[in-house]
Amino acid sequence: MQIVTSPSELRALRREWKGTVGFVPTMGALHKGHLTLIQKSKAQNEKSIVSIFVNPTQFGENEDFAHYPRKPEADANICQKAGVDILFMPKAEDIYFEEDEVLLKAPQKSGFVLEGAARPGHFDGVLRVVLKLLHLTSPTRAYFGQKDTQQLLLIQKMARELFLPYEIVPCPTERDNDGLALSSRNAYLSEAEKKEALKISASLKEATKHIMTGELQSSQIKERALKVLEGVEVEYFEIVDRNLMPLERIIKGETIILVTARVGKVRLLDNLWI
Ligand code: AMP
């Protein structure tokens, strides 16, 4: 595995490859969720690139950019063992120019609801860095987790509208044995908080159970799920379609239930695709 920090070196190495290339962009502090994306990339492509970059432009002023977990050595070991060909670990000044002025705007509607409403400008930063990274790695396929549903849908939208020649591959959410969706931010949770956090996936299970009995009214499902979440600071629990617009009734094959809650100081996201 080669560890590369400079975009020009990455491009030079990339140009030598003729076959299929998979790309997994991450912010590091790698866990099993990231690993499933890497394994999928390995299985579907001749070469695989992983990037680790804690992107400053997607963090708001009062967010955890400075404290976001960073574990470069452990991450490099994980990538090496997983058979990654290039690990790209640029610094902010390698990705952003001093006067980096060409901005991408997240879509007015779908980019500023849910996560976009809670974190204004977040998706501008996400799309900006993802586009840069996609062009630098020029992959056949790029892998993104359904764990970050809104991010995935906006990246798919960007790829379609800007005619990007890269296939965006969605990957299911990896969970721990108790059902908690894996996240780098889980590292902030105490044991007691982890228990509390289990209510998040439990609320989605409760919603599923309710839907299985034939209940399709969103308000009813939300009411039941919120009972499970009692004691947790819920930011939003929304039932939406694939364009992130609210749905009054569940339509199978078109519905996503999204929940974001705070446990202690940690913001946790989970979702369920129906
Ligand atoms: P991050 O490092 O949090 O930016 O995540 C990098 C990629 O891994 C994103 O596409 C995430 O959606 C994906 N990812 C994060 N957590 C999980 C998980 N538990 N299961 C599957 N994919 C995940």
Dump pLDDT digits (tens) for 185-239.
999 999 999 999 999 999 999 999 999 999 999 999 999 999 999 999 999 999 9
**By mean pLDDT, which of 53-57, 104-108, 153-157 is the weakest?**
104-108
Residues with CB under 6 A from ligand 1: 26-27, 33-34, 36-37, 144-145, 147-148, 171, 173-174, 181-184
pLDDT digits (tens, 9 = 90+) for 17-72: 999 999 999 999 999 999 999 999 999 999 999 999 999 999 999 999 999 999 99
At 143 the three-state DSSP class reads strand
C-alpha 214 to ligand 1 mean position (Å): 32
The pTM of the whole model exceeds 0.85: yes
Q: Are the C-beta atoms of 65 and 54 separated by less than 8 Å?
A: yes
Q: What is the token pair recorded at 203?
A: 């609320």
> 31, 34, 122, 210: which one is catalytic?
34
Q: Where are the beta strands (DSSP E) in 146-273?
A: 167-171, 233-241, 255-263, 266-273
Q: Is 34 a catalytic residue?
A: yes
| Dihedral angle of Cα 161, 270, 58, 247, to the nearest 10 degrees | 50
C-alpha 220 to ligand 1 mean position (Å): 30
Cα distances (angstroms) measured from residue 265 to each of 170, 188, 250: 29, 8, 32
Query: What's the pLDDT at 131?
Result: 98
Q: What is the token pair recorded at 140?
A: 């056949």
> What is the arithmetic mean of pLDDT over 144-156?
98
Query: What's the pLDDT at 26?
Result: 98
Instruction: State percent of the chain over pLDDT 90.
Output: 99
Query: What's the pLDDT at 164?
Result: 98
pLDDT digits (tens, 9 = 90+) for 175-193: 999 999 999 999 999 999 9
